[in-house]
Amino acid sequence: MKTSMIRKQWLLSGLVAFTCLASTAALSGPIESYSPVTAQRLENPEPHNWMLYRRTYDGHGYSPLDQINTSNVKNLTPVWTFSTGVVEGHQAPPIVNNGVMFVTTPMGQVIALNAKTGDEYWRYKRQLPDDLFQLHPTNRGVGLWEDKLYLATTDDHVVALDAKTGKVLWDTKVQDYRKGQYLTLMPLIVDGKVIVGGSGGEFGVRGYIVAYDAKEGKELWRTYTIPGEGEPGHDTWQGDDWKNGGGSAWMTGNYDKETRTIYWGVGNAAPWPGDSHPGDNLYTASVLALDPDTGKIKAYHQYHQNDSWDWDEVDAPMLIDLQRNGRTIKSLVHPGRDAIFWVLERTPTKINYVAGWPFVFTDVWKGIDETGKPIVDPAHKPVIGKRVEFCPSLWGGKDWPSAAYSQRTGLVYVPANENFCGGFTGEKVPLKPGELWLGTKPEDIGLKVKPGADHFGELQAWDPATGKKVWQHNFPKSHLFGSVTATAGDLVFVGGTNDRYFRAFHAKTGELLWEQKTNSGIVGMPVSYEIDGTQYIAIQSGWGVDAQRIQDALVTNNIGIEANVPQGGVVWVFALKK
């Protein structure tokens, strides 16, 4: 690198050449000092770090840092940026461990950066196979354990890297990418186990969650999300439907360290039309409670039965202690893709339904019975042989982007979408391994804007104890498709809109306090960390995947919205102006 730089300067003017030489000061290389990650550190993370997908095992997406707060956030300014060099959806939170940042991008890159200066330590680039078919070209981050990192790839491998150098330590094939198996999530690390769940709900897979030994990559257990013959719940399927019934598990689970229970969300049933797989179809569209040591299913709750809408419920529920009717409930809170805001109770052996209410308009549910089963309106349930319309669209009230919970305000912040409906004509399609298997023609999938709609995206603040909506911010010309993060500075950070802005809202009132236009649209997750007494906010801006799909559909609806959201990933880091 140095040689080429020196050669290059002969071609350049003196001033430019000087700049060029100066840039070589930021030489990449191994990390000199790295803090090993332990069970204790993951269970009680230091306030200045962000080492799990949602920072803490309870999934709150909350930083206890408050240097940046409602009174000074107007002075938030970029301190460094870093181009990732690739397009498509940059969905990963920048993971930070004592001053070192790890960013993952589409195409299987991991970039290690100095979190204070933005200088690169090393970069890992996965060599993806030429014939790989990436329906979701993205990645949601690396898991940390001891001095290693764990990456789940779209060619369906889990790869362990040396955190200091980026060198591959082990590389384990999970299943076969040629059969529509792939991985996009950040692995969940619990006590030296690397736990991932497979994607492929649009390819007729049978979903699973699998744990590997962090040291060597040996498989420890694998739990299918669809029960096999002889297992409880198998009778919720007919014939051989269970073998290809979907139930992918493509988002990181949360973990209750008190009861040693993992809570993992499960995706849609396959193919989409419900009458192609009659029955309740356990455990699709459910949350599973798993023993991290054995993978044994301890309990479950199915959000909706016989999924027919592509409504993955993969976003893991948040573990929140709620004061409700004079008692504390150890709850699970999940604003669902199925448009229902779910409040459940977790006990060591059961998950109980507590409450549920629609948080966006839906014509699919007529109500919820006392056991927590939503009551479906058959007029809005897709079947084979006719076109069926339903609200919300197949992207749901809230897709995979995470909501956040602030312990200070007691509110849940939901990146929701309103005024969208969808529909498709179900058809019988033979399954061919590795091919899309939707039960409809892809070109037939519709997204419709409700007549008279004056906005699409909504950032909603709910009190989960009372079911009361406290505030809402509407986005008139964009959907909202990015994860939300709350901080102890009473701020809520979110991107997610097609105008490329990154925004901070007042957590108590919903007032927009700060915004910054970025290079691209943001579909990633904001994080916060602190180094040497300075609090930082970090986000990846890089539009793509489903945010772009909805964008294309909106443009087709010709409603005068931004047609071009430029792609290309950049890590942005902000701090208060000094």
Partner 1 sequence: MATTACLGCSTRARAGEDPPGSDERPQKGDLLVFSEGDQEGKLITAADLRVGGPPIHAWPKDPTTSVVRSASRLNEILIIKLDPADLDEKTRARAVDGIIAYSAICSHAGCPVTAWVKSDVGDKEVFKCMCHNSEFDPRAGAQVVFGPAPRRLAALPLALADGSLSVAGNFMGKVGGTQPG
Q: In this chain, which of 68, 79, 87, 159 binds partner 1, going by CB under 8 A?
A: 87
Has 268 been labeled as part of a binding site?
yes
Q: Is the peptide bond before 129 cis (omega within 30 degrees of 0)?
A: no
Active site residue 307: no
Has 202 been labeled as part of a binding site?
yes
- C-alpha 356/C-alpha 336 separation (Å) is 10
Query: Considering the complex, what minimum distance in angstroms separates the CB of residue 142 from partner 1?
Result: 17
Q: In this chain, which of 128, 299, 449, 453 binds partner 1, going by CB under 8 A?
A: 128
DSSP string, 91-110: -PPPEEETTEEEEEETTTEE
- C-alpha 391/C-alpha 255 separation (Å) is 32
Q: Kindly state whether residue 20 participates in binding partner 1, applying the rule CB under 8 A.
A: no
Has 140 been labeled as part of a binding site?
yes
Q: Kindly state whether residue 137 participates in binding partner 1, applying the rule CB under 8 A.
A: yes
Residue pair 57/43 in contact by the 8 Å Cβ criterion: yes
Q: Kindly state whether residue 432 participates in binding partner 1, applying the rule CB under 8 A.
A: yes
Measured at the CA of 311, the angle between CA 498 and CA 50, to 5 degrees, comes to 60
Counting Cα atoms < 13 Å in the Cβ hemisphere of 75 gives: 10
Has 418 been labeled as part of a binding site?
no
141 vs 336, which CB is nearer to partner 1? 141
Residue 138 Cα to chain centre, angstroms? 10
204 vs 295, which CB is nearer to partner 1? 204
Residue pair 191/40 in contact by the 8 Å Cβ criterion: no
Q: Kindly state whether residue 369 participates in binding partner 1, applying the rule CB under 8 A.
A: no
DSSP string, 484-508: -EEETTTEEEE--STT-EEEEEETT
40 vs 127, which CB is nearer to partner 1? 127
**Measuring CA to CA, which residue among 288, 161, 271, 296 is closest to residue 205?**
271
Query: Considering the complex, what minimum distance in angstroms separates the CB of residue 522 from partner 1?
Result: 17
Query: Considering the complex, what minimum distance in angstroms separates the CB of residue 103 from partner 1?
Result: 13
Each residue 165-194 as x (binds partner 1 by CB under 8 A) or -, in order, gives: -----------x-xxx--------------
What are the CA-CA distances from residue 260 to residues 58, 293, 295, 362 (Å)? 12, 9, 11, 36
Size of the site for partner 1 (CB under 8 A): 41
Q: Kindly state whether residue 30 participates in binding partner 1, applying the rule CB under 8 A.
A: no
What backbone torsions phi and psi does residue 499 show, to the nearest 5 degrees? -90, 5
406 vs 548, which CB is nearer to partner 1? 548
The residues, any chain, with a CB within 8 Å of residue 155's CB and separated by 6 or more, are 108, 126, 128, 129, 132, 177, 182
Q: In this chain, which of 17, 384, 436, 453 binds partner 1, going by CB under 8 A?
A: 436
Query: Considering the complex, what minimum distance in angstroms separates the CB of residue 147 from partner 1?
Result: 26
Each residue 511-550 as x (binds partner 1 by CB under 8 A) or -, in order, gives: ---------------------------------xx--xx-
Q: In this chain, which of 86, 96, 174, 226 binds partner 1, going by CB under 8 A?
A: 86
Counting Cα atoms < 13 Å in the Cβ hemisphere of 484 gives: 29
Q: Kindly state whether residue 135 participates in binding partner 1, applying the rule CB under 8 A.
A: yes
Q: In this chain, which of 30, 47, 433, 446 binds partner 1, going by CB under 8 A?
A: 433
Measured at the CA of 423, the angle between CA 419 and CA 429, to 5 degrees, comes to 155
| Catalytic residue, candidates 310, 315, 490, 546 | 310
105 vs 225, which CB is nearer to partner 1? 105
**Measuring CA to CA, which residue among 189, 140, 149, 145 is closest to residue 168?**
149
Binding-site sequence positions: 140, 184, 202, 268, 310
Rule CB under 8 A: which residues touch partner 1? 85-88, 105, 107, 109, 125, 127-128, 130-135, 137, 176, 178-180, 429-430, 432-438, 441-443, 544-545, 548-549, 552, 555-556, 567
What are the catalytic residues? 310
Give binding residues for pyrroloquinoline quinone as ranges. 140, 184
